[in-house]
Amino acid sequence: MKKVGLLVLCVLLACSFVFANGQGEKSSAAAKKPLIGVSIWSSTDTLGSQCKLILDAAAKALDVDIMYVDQGHISEQVTASAETLSAAGCDGIIICNSASAEMTSVINTCTENKVYVAQFFRAINQKDNPNEYALALKSPYYVGTVHENEIDNGKNLVKILCDKGARKIALEAWEAGDATFLLRWQGYKAGIEAWNKEHPNDKAVLLDPQYGGTTSDTGRATAEAIINANPDIDALIVAGGGGDTLVGALAAIDSMGLKGKIKVVSTDFLADLDKQLATGGMAAESGGHYCDPLFAFMLVYNTIKGNYKTSTNSFYEINFPYLYVSSPEDYAAYAKYFVDDLPYNADELREMATLSVEDLTKKAASLSIQDVQSRRSGK
């Protein structure tokens, strides 16, 4: 009797394995959607929430599942986010890391777990981080990077300030050692150098950075400390930090009665930039780059689908342009196509997903207010 019972149990077990396996394959083949993870500093701050909007729109248009992990640009959380997303079963990850050193762990995690990864807003500098760069080249799971030319961005902002008459410029950053800030800072210094070379009798000076974190209250406290310590500054660069640092810095300037007297430039558009430009709160701002992660998403999506091939000696690199806004009119045009609406609709997103890497690169480079204007007017 026992033997018969055991036999029946074995048969049942074997059947369950066979049928469960078959059923699983069938259902997974039918329901399996690509899952792409997004490791971002914050999906709720000014810039982060805009990135989330366009990524959610792309995921919906392409029928992809998407998962966010906010890591606050804290190194150990950045590396942990890659592990979390890999463990969650992501087929690909797009990541905005803080320092390039974190990418060693991120790439190794993704390679071990066979998960494709692309960076957004960030690139590994071959000269400064040769080991990370070599690892990125070698890994077949490192798809590539989408990033802005931060040095040029820094130069342009300093030029705008100097053209507007600023000569003593203070600098408020968000986190010491952040890869993007270091590049922007390089650009600010290069901008000052270029101005002083061209105007030897009317030199400008850039103060050393102070770090105000990524919250508005710490941003305000640091801006107040900078202004108190340097009452003769005529401009303040808030290097970035997602927008909240700038909100705090503007509150500091406003409460000290210096609105319009201290020219403020920054990167990462504020939601009320039009009002700030109209009232003199801001002198200029570069930004509008929230579509950058969209292109990283497309790189990873197409690699998962097998449309883009990865290699062990190269990776894809897409340069993304900044938009510069220095008047309420500039902003009105920007708001119409980038704030009130998204610059790409569902059909355009689906079409973008069919492009080759070369065409995708061209598509990224061509994004501007005029580009969206022409697409919407059907030209």
Which residues contact another protein (rule: CB under 8 A)? 42, 44-45, 49, 69-72, 74, 77, 176, 207-211, 213-222, 224-226, 228-231, 242, 244, 247-248, 250-251, 255-256, 271-272
**At closest approach, how far in Å is the CB of 212 from another protein?**
8
Instruction: Count CB neighbours of 118 within 10 A.
Output: 29
Nearest Cα neighbor of 305 from 350, 267, 347 is 350
Contact yes or no for 245/174 (Cβ under 8 A): yes
**At closest approach, how far in Å is the CB of 38 from another protein?**
13
Which one, 54 or 146, has the nearer CB to another protein? 54
**At closest approach, how far in Å is the CB of 275 from another protein?**
8
**At closest approach, how far in Å is the CB of 359 from another protein?**
34
**At closest approach, how far in Å is the CB of 197 from another protein?**
25
Which one, 78 or 146, has the nearer CB to another protein? 78
Question: How many whole angstroms separate alpha carbon 193 and alpha carbon 56?
Answer: 42
**At closest approach, how far in Å is the CB of 292 from another protein?**
20
Which one, 34 or 242, has the nearer CB to another protein? 242
**At closest approach, how far in Å is the CB of 221 from another protein?**
5
Which one, 27 or 279, has the nearer CB to another protein? 279
Which one, 255 or 354, has the nearer CB to another protein? 255
**At closest approach, how far in Å is the CB of 214 from another protein?**
7
Which one, 308 or 334, has the nearer CB to another protein? 334
Question: How many whole angstroms separate alpha carbon 339 and alpha carbon 332?
Answer: 10
CB neighbours of 80 closer than 8 A, spacing ≥ 6?
Answer: 71
Which one, 47 or 146, has the nearer CB to another protein? 47
